[in-house]
C-alpha cells in the first residue's frame, strides 16, 4: 500500500506488499522488497536496497547505496524469519549496511531514534543501537553489540561481537573494542583502554557539576581505587541512591558478558 502523497521515481522497483506512508520520497533505481514498511516523511534516495521484514519509522533520511534489512553474514543463518526495526529521524548515510537479526539471539536488529550512521558504517545482526548516537565512517558494530544512548563510535573503529558501548561514552577513531565500555567513559586504542570521562559530551547533554562529580567518583572507584569489581559494586549501589546516573555503571557491571576495558 503506497500513500497517495508519496513520491516514487518511475525507475524505482517496489514489490507487492510494501507499505509506504504519507509524504515519503523514493529516488531512482531504488529497490524495496516485500515485507518493508516505511513511515511518513522518510526520504529514500537513489540506488538504495531495502529488504524485509523491516519497519522504518518517520522522517528518516537514507542516502544512496545504503543496504537496509539484508540477511546477515552469520554462517548459522538459514533463511529464518528475522527482522529489522528502525525508529524516527535517523540519518543513514551512503553505503551503510544494516542487517536483520538471527534466531540465535533476539531475532531482531534495532536502531532507535535520532542516530547518525556515517558513510559505510556496518550494523551487524542482533545489534541494538539506542538514541542520539553517532556511528562514524567505516566503523563496524559486530553481531549482538549494544550501543547506549548518546554514545559515539568514531571512524574506523570496530566493536567485537557481544560487547556493550555504554551510554554517553565515546570511542576514539581507529579503536578495537573487545570488552565492554562503561557509560560516560572515553576509550581509544587497540585494544581500547579507558582515558577518563567524556566530560565535554556530558556537559553538552545537560549534566551539571554535582552530578559530574558523582560520576567522576564512581569512575575512580572502578579504575583507581585498587578494589576488585566485587568490592566496587556495593559502593556504586550506595552512590546510585543519590545519583541514579551512577546506576548505569552498576547495571553494566552486573550484566557484562565480556568484562570491562581496563
Angle at 162 (CA atoms; ends 160, 163), nearest 5 degrees:
65
157-176 pLDDT, tens digit each:
999 999 999 999 999 999 99
pLDDT of residue 132: 98
Q: Which among 67, 55, 59 has a CA at the least distance from the CA of 121?
A: 67
Active-site pick, 27, 143, 166, 201: 143
Task: Indicate which residue of 126, 136, 144, 201 is catalytic.
Answer: 126
Overall pTM surpassing 0.75 (yes/no):
yes
Q: Is 126 marked active-site?
A: yes
pLDDT tens-digit map of 22-33: 999 999 999 999
Annotated catalytic residue 112:
no
pLDDT digits over 47-59, tens only?
999 998 999 999 9
With CA atoms as reference, report the closest residue to 5 among 39, 29, 34, 35: 39
For 7-144, the fitting CATH number among 3.40.50.300, 3.40.50.720, 3.10.450.50, 2.160.10.10 is 2.160.10.10
* Angle (deg, nearest 10), helices 229-240 and 209-223: 160
Residue range 74-109, pLDDT digits in tens: 999 999 999 999 999 999 999 999 999 999 999 999
Please give the CATH superfamily to which domain 202-255 belongs: Udp N-acetylglucosamine O-acyltransferase, C-terminal domain (1.20.1180.10)
Please report where in the chains the cell 576514539 appears, as a residue: 172
Is residue 149 annotated as part of the catalytic site, yes or no? Answer: no
Proportion of the chain above pLDDT 70, given as a percent: 100
Any idea where the domains of the chain sit in the sequence? 7-144, 202-255
- pLDDT over 90 for what percent of the chain? 98
Amino acid at each position: 500500500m503506497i500513500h497517495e502523497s508519496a513520491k516514487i521515481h518511475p525507475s524505482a522497483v517496489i514489490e507487492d506488499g510494501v507499505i509506504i506512508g504519507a509524504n515519503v520520497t523514493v529516488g531512482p533505481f531504488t529497490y524495496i522488497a516485500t515485507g518493508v514498511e516505511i513511515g511518513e516523511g522518510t526520504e529514500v534516495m537513489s540506488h538504495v536496497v531495502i529488504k524485509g521484514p523491516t519497519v522504518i519509522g518517520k522522517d528518516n533520511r537514507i542516502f544512496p547505496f545504503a543496504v537496509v534489512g539484508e540477511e546477515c553474514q552469520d554462517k548459522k543463518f538459514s533463511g529464518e524469519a528475522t527482522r529489522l526495526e528502525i525508529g524516527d529521524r535517523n540519518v543513514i548515510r551512503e553505503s551503510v549496511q544494516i542487517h536483520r537479526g538471527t534466531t540465535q539471539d533476539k531475532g531482531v536488529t534495532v536502531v532507535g531514534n535520532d542516530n547518525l550512521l556515517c558513510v559505510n558504517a556496518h550494523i551487524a545482526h542482533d545489534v541494538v543501537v539506542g538514541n542520539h548516537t553517532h556511528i562514524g565512517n567505516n566503523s563496524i558494530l559486530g553481531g549482538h553489540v549494544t550501543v547506549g544512548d548518546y554514545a559515539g563510535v568514531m571512524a574506523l573503529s570496530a566493536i567485537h561481537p557481544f560487547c556493550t558501548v555504554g551510554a554517553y561514552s565515546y570511542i576514539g577513531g581507529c579503536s578495537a573494542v573487545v570488552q565492554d565500555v562503561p557509560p560516560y567513559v572515553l576509550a581509544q586504542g587497540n585494544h581500547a583502554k579507558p582515558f577518563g570521562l567524556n566530560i565535554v559530551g556530558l556537559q553538552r547533554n545537560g549534566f551539571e557539576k554535582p552530578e559530574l562529580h558523582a560520576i567522576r567518583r564512581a569512575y575512580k572507584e572502578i579504575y583507581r581505587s585498587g578494589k576488585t569489581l566485587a568490592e566496587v559494586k556495593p559502593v556504586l549501589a550506595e552512590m546510585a541512591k543519590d545519583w541514579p546516573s551512577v546506576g548505569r555503571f552498576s547495571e553494566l557491571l552486573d550484566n557484562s558478558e565480556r568484562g570491562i576495558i581496563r
